[in-house]
Amino acid sequence: MKQALMVAAIQMVSGASLNENLSEAARLIALAAQSGARLIALPEYFCMLGRKETDKLEIAEAPGVGPIQEFLSARAVQHQIWLSCGSMPFISPDAGRVFNTQLIFDPSGQQISRYDKIHLFGFNRGTESYDESRGILAGRTIERVQTPVATLGLSICYDLRFPELYRALGEVDLILVPSAFTYTTGMAHWEILLRARAIENQCYVLAPAQGGQHENGRRTWGHTMLIDPWGEVMSVLPEHAGVVSGTIDPLRLQEVRQALPALKHRTLY
């Protein structure tokens, strides 16, 4: 990263209507862009949190084809921004499952990167039960994105619990963690894990989230936030739709890494 960069993370409470979700995303992207953000990130499944598990199959797209990707490309061009879709469903080789995919678009509207979520969430306690592997096919490849404005490390939600993924990315300026953490697990672990990833990788972390009560009865934790390389929370939005923004500064990255050169002190790989 050569100069300071204003970034923004969008918090949503996505529902079952694709068109309504796209309309809300457009509104929030415009709001973030108007504040000066040059890199904007949407939350996991910004385009739909359906009433049933199979709803995502109906809107899954093939690479380069479909209304969701057209929407994202157009917003990047309209606002001249770098845009992360958070995640959206992509067609997979398994007809009954999709990839949970994060795409990055540049200001010309070109898709420059793709990451398929590697770690799939499973949780079972009392009346709460989740098993993402029923509807999602796991990715296999990590993704580090070199752009003119920042070096990005891509991840999605449950990936946050696996520090080896972030170590494998190498040195980055900014880690993206679009998420839809459950209220239960978010309350217990969300901020702790985000701050740990920032501290141990000595980089900024931008975590756009779903945050509120959804049509399908699910409640997500929210608390979209931006964290600096020392682990300090720079900005946070607890619940409801909105925007979190701030500046990532190469001088701050340099200051932290020079004062405590932990990345150079590593002995185990």
Six-digit token string for 167: 């170590």
pLDDT of 177 higher than 70: yes
pLDDT of residue 1: 64
Smallest CA-to-CA distance from 156 within 105, 207, 214, 192 is with 207
Which of 47, 56, 117, 143 does the annotation list as catalytic? 117
What is the C-alpha to C-alpha distance for residues 255 and 249, in angstroms, rounded to an integer?
Answer: 10
Helix (H, G, I), strand (E, B) or coil at 131: strand
pLDDT of residue 43: 98
Six-digit token string for 132: 């993402």
State what percent of residues in the chain have pLDDT above 70. Answer: 100
Q: Contact at 8 Å (CB) between 175 and 182?
A: no
* pLDDT band at residue 2 using 50, 70 and 90 as cut-offs: confident
pLDDT of residue 125: 81
- Catalytic (active site) residue 255: no
For 16-27, what is each residue's pLDDT tens digit?
999 999 999 999
User: Structural domain boundaries of the chain?
Assistant: 5-264
pLDDT of 265 higher than 70: yes
Helix (H, G, I), strand (E, B) or coil at 245: strand
Helix (H, G, I), strand (E, B) or coil at 105: strand
- Catalytic (active site) residue 117: yes
For 27-39, what is each residue's pLDDT tens digit?
999 999 999 999 9
For 73-82, what is each residue's pLDDT tens digit?
999 999 999 9
For 131-155, what is each residue's pLDDT tens digit?
898 999 999 999 999 999 999 999 9
What is the C-alpha to C-alpha distance for residues 206 and 224, in angstroms, rounded to an integer?
Answer: 8
Scanning 80-169, the segments in alpha helix (DSSP H) are 163-169
Architecture of domain 5-264: 4-Layer Sandwich (3.60)
* pLDDT band at residue 124 using 50, 70 and 90 as cut-offs: confident
Which of 24, 44, 61, 132 does the annotation list as catalytic? 44
- Catalytic (active site) residue 56: no
Which of 47, 56, 61, 157 does the annotation list as catalytic? 157
State what percent of residues in the chain have pLDDT above 90. Answer: 91
